[in-house]
C-alpha cells in the first residue's frame, strides 16, 4: 500500500515570518537569562538558517562583489526572488551562467544587478 504524501513548500513570506518568530523567541530567552551561552545559541541559529539556504540573518557590511559568481539559491536570496526565477532569467537569455568544477550552475552578481536595474523602472 502506498501513501501519497504532500510535501509543503512554504512561501518566502511564510519562511521569513517563521524565522522571525524563531529569532524573537531566541532573543526573549536570552533576555530572560534562560540561555547560558547566547553567542553559541546565536551561532546555532545562524547555522540552522544557512542549512536552509537562508543567508539574510547574517547581515554583512560588505556588498557583494559584482565579479562574484553565486548559485541560484544564493542569488535568489540577494535578489529577493525564487531560485527558479534566476534559472528562468538564464534560460530566457537575460543573464548568463557559468559552471563550477562540480557542474553547479553559477550566476554573476554584477550581471544580475544590471538586469534588475533595467527591469525595475518598468515594474514601478
In a domain, 62, yes or no: no
pLDDT digits (tens, 9 = 90+) for 67-89: 999 999 889 888 888 899 999 99
Tens-digit pLDDT profile for residues 19-56: 999 999 999 999 999 999 999 999 999 889 878 877 67
Q: Is the pLDDT score of 10 beyond 90?
A: no
Do 43 and 83 sit in the same domain of this protein? Answer: no
Q: Collect all residues with Cβ–Cβ distance below 8 Å to 50 and sequence separation of at least 6.
A: 58
CATH code where residue 111 lies: 1.10.1660.10
Please report whether residue 57 resides in a domain.
no
Q: How many domains does the chain have?
A: 2
- Residue 109: closest CA among 92, 123, 124, 95: 95
pLDDT at 110 over 80: yes
Please tell me the pTM assigned to this model: 0.56
* Residue range of the domain that includes 26: 12-51
Amino acid at each position: 500500500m502506498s501513501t501519497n504524501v504532500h510535501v509543503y513548500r512554504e512561501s518566502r513570506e511564510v519562511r521569513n515570518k517563521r524565522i522571525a518568530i524563531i529569532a524573537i523567541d531566541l532573543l526573549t530567552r536570552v533576555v530572560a537569562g534562560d540561555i547560558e551561552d547566547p553567542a553559541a545559541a546565536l551561532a546555532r541559529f545562524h547555522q540552522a538558517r544557512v542549512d536552509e539556504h537562508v543567508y539574510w540573518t547574517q547581515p554583512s557590511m560588505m556588498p557583494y562583489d559584482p565579479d562574484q559568481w553565486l548559485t541560484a539559491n544564493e542569488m535568489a536570496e540577494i535578489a529577493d526572488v525564487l531560485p527558479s526565477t534566476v534559472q528562468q532569467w538564464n534560460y530566457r537569455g537575460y543573464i548568463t551562467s557559468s559552471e563550477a568544477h562540480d557542474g553547479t550552475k553559477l550566476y554573476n552578481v554584477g550581471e544580475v544587478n544590471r538586469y534588475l536595474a533595467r527591469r525595475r523602472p518598468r515594474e514601478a
